[in-house]
Amino acid sequence: MKKIYLTLSILFSVTLYAKAQSGKQISLSLGPELSIPLNTNTQANGHVRDYYQDGIGGNVKLEVLLDRVLNFVLSAGFVSYAGKGFLYAPNLGPYYTQINSSEPRGVDNSHTNYTFIPATAGLRWYVDKLWYLGADAGIALKVYTNSTTSAIYGGGTGVIIPCSTRSSIDLGLRYARGYQIFYYPSPMSQLSISVAYRFGL
């Protein structure tokens, strides 16, 4: 939890500093996110879906207007992927082999959730007032030892639904890659769906 508070504190400090120094239009958005791992990797250890279930989390985004259609975006969040029971296999070294959940022996259920704190920076290009394209990159900090601190990157699109002159709903769809865990040697790709409340500062 300390990492979450620290990350959010840094983002809040950056928000205040950017507002004070630039005088430019700034917006803040926050909301939940559903992350769906994609089964694109094939390893001797199995597929992505053998290790990751869907992830639930949330994000806070700071958006700074650079010009009429281009914005700079900082994001910090929290995501946890539900894990599965694993049996230690000595012939695979540090890796684990998935077993049937009905097996009573050798199951390691300690911290089977893979939890990260992602922090990214990127750009948004507004095709029009209601539709944008974006790309970003950053780092995903591990929370438990079964996760691995990883470099992440991605891109996506979204629509803005106005609520008032200073607030709106941000619906986003994003592809990302880079999250890794100790038990699976390849980066994980995912598709994320987000809903956020966005307001001007």
Q: Where are the domains of the chain?
A: 2-84+113-200
Whether the per-residue pLDDT at 94 is higher than 90: the answer is: no
β-bridge partners, 59: 31, 77
pLDDT band of residue 113 (cuts 50, 70, 90) is confident
Whether the per-residue pLDDT at 8 is higher than 90: the answer is: no
Query: Residue 88: what pLDDT?
Result: 44
pTM: 0.75
β-bridge partners, 154: 136, 176
Query: Residue 87: what pLDDT?
Result: 43
User: What is 2-84+113-200's CATH number?
Assistant: 2.40.160.20
The token duo for 116 is 């990260």
Query: Side chain identity at 47, as an amino acid letter?
Result: H
Whether the per-residue pLDDT at 183 is higher than 80: the answer is: no
pLDDT by residue (tens digit) across 38-75?
Answer: 876 666 666 777 777 899 999 999 999 988 899 999 99
